[in-house]
């Protein structure tokens, strides 16, 4: 397996660092528009693990240009293209990988477009629609595009497959629930607003109309931040208010897992929701460039890019962050014994540990872990297929077994939890 890793930001950097401890691949080419970022990732790996003898290389790439993606993939003989950049680049990387004859993975899918006249009730273009529309091309080419293979989406979708196959005879609701108790402080020790994940992506997810799926209704939308609920997260995180947010799980799970309802709710907090609403009211969430005066004359800039540039890079927050983040799936229905059952399957990532082991903050590290496990399963021939498939299309047990097995037994040493929540 020869992997072209597109993007050396927080998640891409963590993917390379996690993979450096594994031996399932021949080469990983760490590529970025900023060659220096890719080189820093490779240098960190060599400083930590010694000379890599060509296992890790760095390269320049333009993720916005499919021809650039194809050229770099072909130059290095890539068998797999791992997309680790903003979802706005999905179409070009997706096309470039197919043209290069490589398999493809991403952690966020092609973007949605709200319904033009009824956005809070009806779907328009849904997340991933553009990719699923191209499934016949991937099938004809005999190539696999594994989409939504991060943590959420990704691990939560693996949990859905596991719950359907091993825990439930009938599922009422698959509800992804994500919460944390993370705090970021400035140099003086004051708590500050600094999103732990890409603000560009966060704005996209949180201000678009959330999607819900119901067996009798199909996909439909609601208003942003709707249906607030208090959800109690494990391992000391505790109760967090969660609200509906647009996310890929709702578009993926119903395609392969039978359930009456599928939802995604995220613990954002009042301050974060207030800031997002203000950005929306001011038009600072927009992606279309506007004309701005500068010392050198008028320039065209996208307001959302200005917001992103004004906030700290999430990849740099680790030393100033404390706490844990939890990603998981709440499932209700009928257990295999015919009795009502309610469970929460989850994985917790502790920032102190991820910083000590990988110098990566916990949110990006948790996201990065899962595509590395998936690629290892693909390299073994355990996960195979053609076309455009989500994590639910594959057997969950080999994934969870490999994730949980101790490192000295060939695993990743990352336990996951299962809480039965009915008395």
Going through 61-214 in order, the beta strands assigned E by DSSP cover 80-83, 103-105, 144-146, 168-180, 183-184, 211-214
Residue-wise pLDDT for 251-275, tens only, equals 999 999 999 999 999 988 778 888 8
Residue 402's CB: how many other CB atoms inside 10 A? 18
Q: Could you tell me how far CA 369 lies from the centroid of its own chain? A: 10
Q: pTM above 0.85?
A: yes
Domains within the chain, CATH numbers bracketed: 2-150+368-412 (3.40.50.720), 155-364 (3.30.360.10)
CB atoms within 10 A of CB 133: 12
Alpha helices in 100-189 (DSSP H): 129-133, 135-141, 155-162
CA distances from 420 to 175, 309, 327, 346 (A): 15, 43, 16, 12
How many whole angstroms separate alpha carbon 85 and alpha carbon 93? 10
Quick check: 377 and 305 in contact, CB under 8 A?
no
Contacts of 296 (CB under 8 A, 6+ apart): none
Distances (CA, A) of 321 to 17, 44, 93, 186, 361: 20, 21, 32, 9, 8
Per-residue pLDDT tens digits for 370-399: 999 999 999 999 999 999 999 999 999 999
The backbone torsions φ and ψ at residue 407, rounded to the nearest 5 degrees and listed phi first, read -60, -40
Average pLDDT score over residue span 193-210: 78
pLDDT in tens, 57-75: 999 999 999 999 999 999 9
Residues 371-394 as b or e (16 or more Cβ within 10 Å = b)? bbbbbbbbbeeebebebbbbbbbb
Report the range of poorest mean pLDDT among 99-113, 141-155, 174-188, 269-283.
269-283
């Amino acid at each position: 397996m020869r992997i072209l890793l597109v993007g050396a930001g927080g998640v891409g950097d963590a993917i390379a660092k996690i993979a450096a401890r594994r031996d399932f691949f021949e080469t990983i080419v760490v590529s970025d528009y900023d060659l220096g970022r890719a080189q820093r990732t490779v240098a960190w790996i060599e400083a930590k693990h010694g000379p890599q003898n060509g296992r890790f290389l760095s390269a320049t790439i333009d993720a916005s240009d499919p021809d650039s993606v194809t050229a770099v993939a072909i130059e290095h003989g890539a068998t797999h293209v791992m997309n680790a950049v903003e979802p706005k680049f999905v179409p070009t990387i997706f096309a470039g990988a197919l043209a290069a004859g490589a398999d493809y993975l991403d952690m966020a899918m092609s973007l949605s477009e709200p319904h033009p006249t009824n956005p809070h009730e009806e779907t328009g273009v849904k997340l991933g629609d553009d990719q699923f529309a191209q499934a016949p091309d991937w099938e004809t080419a005999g190539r696999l595009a594994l989409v939504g293979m991060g943590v959420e989406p990704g691990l939560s979708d693996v949990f859905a497959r596991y719950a359907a196959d091993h825990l439930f005879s009938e599922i009422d609701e698959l509800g992804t629930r994500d919460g944390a108790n993370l705090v970021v402080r400035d140099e003086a020790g004051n708590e500050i607003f600094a999103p732990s994940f890409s603000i560009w992506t966060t704005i996209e997810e949180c201000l678009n109309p959330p999607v819900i799926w119901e067996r009798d209704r199909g996909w439909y939308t609601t208003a942003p931040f709707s249906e607030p609920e208090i959800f109690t997260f494990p391992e000391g995180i505790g109760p967090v208010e969660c609200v509906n947010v647009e996310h890929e799980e709702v578009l993926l799970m119903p395609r392969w897992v039978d359930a009456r309802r599928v939802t995604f709710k995220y613990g954002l907090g009042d301050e974060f929701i207030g800031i997002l609403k203000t950005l929306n009211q001011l038009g600072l969430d927009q992606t279309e460039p506007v004309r701005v005066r500068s010392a050198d004359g008028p320039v065209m800039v996208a307001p959302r890019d200005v917001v992103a540039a004004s906030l700290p890079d999430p990849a740099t927050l680790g030393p100033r962050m404390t706490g844990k983040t939890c990603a998981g799936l709440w499932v209700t229905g009928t257990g295999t014994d015919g009795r009502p059952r309610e469970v929460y399957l989850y994985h917790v990532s502790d920032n102190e540990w991820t910083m000590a082991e990988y110098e990566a903050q916990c949110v990006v590290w948790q996201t990065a872990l899962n595509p590395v496990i998936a690629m290892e399963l693909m390299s073994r021939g355990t996960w195979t297929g053609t076309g455009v498939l989500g994590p639910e299309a594959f057997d969950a047990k080999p994934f969870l077994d490999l994730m949980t097995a101790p490192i000295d037994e060939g695993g990743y040493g990352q336990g996951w939890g299962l809480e039965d929540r009915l008395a």
